[in-house]
Structure formats: structure tokens, C-alpha cells
Amino acid sequence: MSAEDGDTPGVIKRFLFVNRKAPYGTIYALEALEVVLISAAFDQDVSLAFLDDGVYQVLAGNDPSGIGMKNFSPTYRALDDYDITKLYVERESLTERGLPEDGFVVPVNVVSRAEMAAIMSQQDVVLSF
Amino acid sequence: MLHTVNKSPFASATLTQCLGHLTDGAAVLLIEDAVVGGVAGTAPGALLAECLKGHKVYCLGPDLMARGISEGRLVKGIQTVDYAGFVRLVTEHDAVQSWL
Amino acid sequence: MKIGILVNEGPYTHQASDSAYQFAVAALKAGHKVTRVFFYHDGVQNGSSLTEPPRDDRQIVERWGKLAGQYEVDLVVCVAAALRRGIREQNLAEGFRISGLGQLVEAGIQNDRLVVFGD
């Protein structure tokens, strides 16, 4: 099946944003979030995956004031307003880092690695940064 | 799903992380620095040999050549492709996930 | 098939832009359409007209522009990422245009595949 030329109204694809990097050390987490917010305007089926060091992006209590950067954690709370509610955090990634399965800045679904792999396999478009 | 990995497994855990997320029909393509992981007799090579039991593993030839690695040194079963082959793999799988 | 490409890194430091370019050329030669290349993060530096690499090196910025002219590839530099990094209309290389992140999402919707190159 091939996408048609020009506008494709009514096309709903499954978009997965894969976040595997800790926030602040690089800009990827912040700029990924900016794309996620824009994607909301396109009425797509959007999911966010947080695994490996990406789990640190959604932990509550991040405070970058000491490194002179703006805290973008509150932006994750805006996702709900845009009907982006499928946020998946990988359990194994938490365990490997000595992190508990609670204490996130927004409601998330904690899923196993096998479940995360299944979620990934169901996507039409996978964006990683 | 076609999974691409571009980091050396000697410097990053990305290859291991990718291999932990393969589902039925998924294939792995090593590009850029990740190609050094395909060499037989190495720890990442052993991981890939295990992966080959259930999945296809490919390696981008021009990246191998650029790093002075001959195809003969790769783990048996890893298939070398050129950029045209990379494109073909992208079209043959329903989506691509880049493990950056 | 219609293919979109995302480039997350600038030229020269990382291989990402080179890999994306070689992939794009191979896709076009195979008869596929590369409709859009979207440049994000430091990838926006691929659109700087101010780069001046040594003559015997590959001309990354210029060759993207030539490819765009030859095959009608839409080269889009993200406006927000570009403003952060000093890329604007005044120093935008030929063949590129500056636009919003919506163009990336649209590339995901309208193409059969979206391939990401980064670090």
C-alpha cells in the first residue's frame, strides 16, 4: 500500500516517540517533547516510550536550577491536555537503575521489556532522537 | 520491523538494548560504528550469533570497508548489504526503528 | 515507495548526514521517491550556507542542495531548532527551506517509510 500524493486527510498512523536518553546532558529529550506536542495537532495515534536512561525524563523531582537550565518536566503534564496519554515506561530499565515503579511527573504505564517490544512492533512511524 | 544500530557495542549498550526488543520477523542492520560488533570471536559477535538463531542480521558493507574489516571476519550468517540493500530492507519491513 | 528522512546531527562531526545522503541517493536510484528530508537538532547545520570545508573533502551542504534540485527533494530545516543554532533565511543554503516541526509529522503521515539518522 502506498501513501497518495498531497494531503492525506483521515490517515491515522501509529506514531511512537522513543526516548532513551537522560534529560539535560543533551537536548534530545526536550526537542523530542517539542515534536510530540506538535504531533497532537495532526490527530495521530501517538505513544511515547521511555526506556534505558530515557526513564529519567519522566521522574518527578528533576531540578536543573543548579546547572542553569530550564526545567521542562511541567511540559509532560501538558500532554494530557492534548489527549496524548499513552506513555510507556519500561520496568527493566527502572530496575536496572535502582528506580522504583512510582514517582513519575505524569501518569505512566509501566510495562515489561517484552510488552515494550510488542508496542514497538505495532507502530507505523518510529521517531528516535 | 527493521532495527538499525549505529553505535559500537564496545562503547555503548545500544546493540544489547536493541536485541532485547526484537519481535517475530524483526531484522537488525548494523551501520556506521556498529559494524565493528559483527566480528566473529568477540563478545558482541557472540550476541549476534545468538540473535541469528531467530532473526536476520545485516551489516552495511561500505561501513565495514571504511573501517578495514573484511566480510570474512564477520560472524557466520550476518549478511552484508550495500546502500541499495539498505533501501531494500527498509521497503521490505513495515517500519524502521533507529536505535540512536 | 515514498520515503521520508530525518537527520538529527550536523555535518562532519557525526556520520549521520553522510549515511542519510548515501541512503537517499540509493533510494532515488532504485526508483523510490524521497519526498522530504527534515533536519532537526544540530541537523539544522546541514542547511548553513556559511560552511566552507576543504576543497578535497565532500561538500555536504552543497550536495544536499544539488540532490534536492535534481530529484525534487524537499529539504526542510526546523525553524525552532534553527533559531537556537543561528540558522536563518540570511544564511540558509540553496535548496533548503525553513519551516515548522509539523513538516516532520507530515512526513511521517504522507510517506510509506520514515528513516531516522542521528547519533
Full pLDDT tens readout for chain A, 129 residues: 444 444 556 889 999 999 999 999 999 999 999 999 999 999 999 999 999 999 999 999 999 999 999 999 999 999 999 999 999 999 999 999 999 999 999 999 999 999 999 999 999 999 999
User: Per-residue pLDDT averaged across B9-23, rounded?
Assistant: 98
**Cα B88 to Cα B18, B34, B65, C29, C43, distances in angstroms:** 21, 20, 20, 12, 25
Closest Cα in chain B, distance from residue C90 (Å): 32
* Size of chain B in residues: 100
For B32-54, what is each residue's pLDDT tens digit? 999 999 999 999 999 999 999 99
Q: What is the CATH number of the domain that holds B47?
A: 3.40.1260.10
Q: Structural domain tally of chain C? A: 1
Q: Is A14-62+77-128 a domain of CATH 3.40.1260.10?
A: yes
Residue C21: its H or E element: helix C16-29
Domain map of chain A by residue range? 14-62+77-128
pLDDT at position A8, please?
Answer: 58
The CATH code of the domain that includes C28 is 3.40.1260.10
Question: Given this model, what pLDDT does residue A3 score?
Answer: 44
Which segments of chain B are extended strands (E)?
Answer: 2-5, 27-30, 56-60, 79-81, 96-99
ipTM over 0.95: yes
* The pLDDT of residue A10: 82
Taking the CA of residue B6 and the nearest CA in chain C, the distance in Å comes to 8
Residues 9-68 of C with CB under 8 A from A: 40-41
Q: Number of structural domains, chain B?
A: 1
Find all residues with CB under 8 Å of A6, minimum gap 6, and list them: none
Active-site residue, from C7, C68, C76, C78 = C78
Domain that holds residue B31: 2-99
pLDDT tens by residue, B75-97: 999 999 999 999 999 999 999 99
> Once rounded to an integer, what is the mean pLDDT over residues C91-100?
98
Range of the domain at C88: 2-117
How high is the mean pLDDT of chain B?
Answer: 98
